Amino acid sequence: MCGIIGYIGDRKACDVIVKGLKRLEYRGYDSAGVVTGNGETLDVRKGAGRIDELTEKLGFLEMEGNRGIGHTRWATHGVPNDINAHPQKDCTGRIVLVHNGIIENFAELKEELLKKGHVFRSDTDTEVIAHLIEEELKGSEDFEEALRKALNKLRGSFALAIVYADEPDKLYVVRNESPLVLGVGDGEMFAASDVPAFLEYTNKAVFLDDGEYAILTKNSYVVKRIDTGEVVEKPVHEISWTLEMAEKAGYPHFMLKEIYEQPRALKDAIHGNREIIKGVAEEIANYDRIIFVAMGTSYHAALVGKYLFQRLAKKVPIVEEASEFRYEFEDLIDDKTLVIAITQSGETADTLAAMKLAKRKGAKVLGIVNVVGSMATRIADLTLYTHAGPEIGVAATKTYTTQLTVLTMLAIELAKVLGTASEDYLKKLENELMKVPELVELALKHDNAIRELADVLKDKRDFFYIGRGISVPTALEGALKLKEISYIHAEGLSAGELKHGPLALLEDGVPVVAINPSGKVFDKMVSNIEEAKARGAMIISLSDREELSRVSDVLIKMPRVDELLSPIVYVVPLQLLAYHLAVLRGNDPDKPRNLAKSVTVE
């Protein structure tokens, strides 16, 4: 949530910053601002609204200077308005900064600063940081020392970018439980919340860890510990994906582009893990207490993982939302526990906190992550990458199906190591998995028909998504996608639960989306569909079985696939349905209201 971009070099800073902010829009925001300046004069412009509007209204591209920082804000303290937008500054206006995260002790710090005569202009926790640095600077002429003293008084999560008027050749950045990455250019340096912000200029990245700050000049950088001030040597990572991969490539929205990228992404996930998956399976095979932790769409992937582990490896994992895990499992974790953390960004605050707790308790932690170098990959003992490439749309699509692919590969390898499934069946399943990208391409051919269906459904107020067994998480994910971007109320549930309450909500014309691939619960699902049909529901079925047309108003005919692989294929039409409904209702599917791509606060 929120986005930071910083630049120091020979280019016009405002050009780099505005482009960077545009590439961070997917993180969600309600206001934005920029500060630039080479010498003692700092030009601060900010306001509530969209970047394009503010650029024209405030003249972001007219700002002078070769050093600057920009910010997109998602309000956590103080309502979204011009005053609360970032950058924020101290009493003198010489210390200007932007901040992502939440300062937990800001109220007590603010009270102390007010007593010392500081005057606050905003309601934000961010402004407290600027005044705190100002206060520490009164006892020292060394800005870095004052900054470090101030940082050590903060409690909470924060990524910061700071400019100090008296040091025009430096840019300061800080990371603690909120993502920040450096970009290393030729005679220029960048800092940002995410790599796409500076990928046009360099593919060399340095990922800061929690408790670190960096001092940037146009030709150098140094990273130090907040607590001790000791220099930390950091590796430089070369980013393998290109800026073009992060652009729309002719699609009207990133979400649609990313839906259509799934066949390629699935191939990359398979080939990218083929060599290492066996070693990971061997390392985790002896753990019987297995806990999946995740949030949002990644949580639905974890639910699929549970079914895969049960059916193939004969393991019975627990699946827990990361936000709840910390409070319920602390006394249940030890060195005999395996925690599998699934996070697209590798920066989800609740998931990182769960991983850290697991590590403290001695558990083995396996991360399933998309973003190379992210915090989750540095906490985890083992990491499997999903290789989905950059995903800009807020609603997860290709990162979800690649998570499912990696989980399937892991469950198959576990079953091989443990001897819990027949070799013939596992070989057959592996061969089918190799063909899944082609099956997803077939599923995408329903796009036009789904667009026409969406036109019929666009004014509906409620949807129900149902499935059984391994299709229940697909129902949950389909409902989540619809809620996220179309703003239509939707519930996903096990079809067996219909008669235990939800049937009371069904009436003429209410859409019920039924996920029913061939498998051991197919006939049971038909009975549940008939129950809904008898109440007047409009039945939209996804199945490879033609006979389902008898009880369906609409049948989306799916390719035949093993039931255990069906979640990867069957979610694709649900992604398309959500997308088209959002567009037809006048929504921007890439930037749904009140949501952010990476939730970096708890």
| Gyration radius (Cα) of the chain, Å | 25
- How far apart (Å, rounded) are the C-alpha atoms in residues 319 and 306? 7
Phi and psi torsions of 107, nearest 5°: -65, -45
Q: Which residues pair with 599 in a beta bridge?
A: none
- Asked if residue 478 and residue 380 are part of one domain, the reply reads no
3-class secondary-structure state, position 392: coil
Residue 247 has pLDDT above 90, yes or no: no
- Asked if residue 395 and residue 305 are part of one domain, the reply reads yes
From 38-47, 70-79, 569-578, the region with the lowest mean pLDDT: 70-79
Q: What's residue 75's pLDDT?
A: 67
- Asked if residue 438 and residue 317 are part of one domain, the reply reads yes
Residue 562, domain member (yes or no) = yes
57: part of which helix (H) or strand (E)? helix 51-58
- How far apart (Å, rounded) are the C-alpha atoms in residues 128 and 315? 50
Residue 594, domain member (yes or no) = no
Does residue 597 carry a catalytic annotation?
A: yes
Q: What's residue 321's pLDDT?
A: 97
Which of 143, 94, 100 lies closest to 6 in space, CA to CA?
100
From 235-244, 342-351, 527-536, the region with the lowest mean pLDDT: 235-244
- Asked if residue 476 and residue 379 are part of one domain, the reply reads no
- Asked if residue 320 and residue 188 are part of one domain, the reply reads no
Residue 205, domain member (yes or no) = yes
User: What type of residue sits at position 374?
Assistant: S
Residue 600 has pLDDT above 70, yes or no: no
Confidence category of residue 466, pLDDT binned at 50, 70, 90: very high
Torsion of the alpha carbons at 577, 580, 583 and 585, rounded to the nearest 10: -60
Average pLDDT of span 551-567: 97
> Among 46, 218, 591, 597, which one carries the catalytic annotation?
597
Residue 179, domain member (yes or no) = yes
> Among 2, 22, 218, 257, which one carries the catalytic annotation?
2
pTM comes to 0.73
Does residue 2 carry a catalytic annotation?
A: yes
- Asked if residue 166 and residue 60 are part of one domain, the reply reads yes
**Domain assignment of residue 569, given as a range:** 445-589
- Asked if residue 434 and residue 464 are part of one domain, the reply reads no
Cβ atoms of 570 and 474 closer than 8 Å = yes
- How far apart (Å, rounded) are the C-alpha atoms in residues 478 and 466? 9
Confidence category of residue 274, pLDDT binned at 50, 70, 90: confident
- Asked if residue 224 and residue 341 are part of one domain, the reply reads no
Residue 600, domain member (yes or no) = no
Average pLDDT of span 381-388: 93
Domain finish residue from 239, 271, 288: 239
Residue 76 has pLDDT above 80, yes or no: no
| Per-residue pLDDT tens digits for 14-57 | 999 999 999 888 666 778 999 999 777 899 999 998 899 999 99
Specify the number of domains making up the chain: 3
Domain of 61: which CATH number? 3.60.20.10
Q: What sign for the dihedral angle of Cα 560, 562, 563, 566?
A: negative
Q: Which residues pair with 77 in a beta bridge?
A: none
Cβ atoms of 225 and 233 closer than 8 Å = no
- Asked if residue 428 and residue 499 are part of one domain, the reply reads no
| Per-residue pLDDT tens digits for 302-313 | 999 999 999 999
Residue 43, token pair as written in the block: 């030009």
- Asked if residue 144 and residue 63 are part of one domain, the reply reads yes
Residue 599, domain member (yes or no) = no
Confidence category of residue 245, pLDDT binned at 50, 70, 90: low
For the ranges 74-88, 301-315, 325-339, 367-381, the one whose mean pLDDT is highest: 301-315
Average pLDDT of span 155-172: 95
Residue 188, domain member (yes or no) = yes
Domain finish residue from 378, 412, 444: 444
Confidence category of residue 182, pLDDT binned at 50, 70, 90: very high
Domain finish residue from 392, 425, 444: 444
Cα separations in angstroms, 130 against 40, 91, 95:
17, 8, 6
Confidence category of residue 275, pLDDT binned at 50, 70, 90: confident
Residue 335, token pair as written in the block: 């060195």
Which of 565, 474, 571, 471 lies closest to 522 in space, CA to CA?
471
- Asked if residue 577 and residue 479 are part of one domain, the reply reads yes
Residue 596, domain member (yes or no) = no
| Per-residue pLDDT tens digits for 422-445 | 999 999 999 999 999 999 999 999
- Asked if residue 511 and residue 385 are part of one domain, the reply reads no
Which of 54, 108, 117 lies closest to 80 in space, CA to CA?
54
Q: What is the mean pLDDT of the chain?
A: 93
Average pLDDT of span 136-164: 94
Domain of 538: which CATH number? 3.40.50.10490
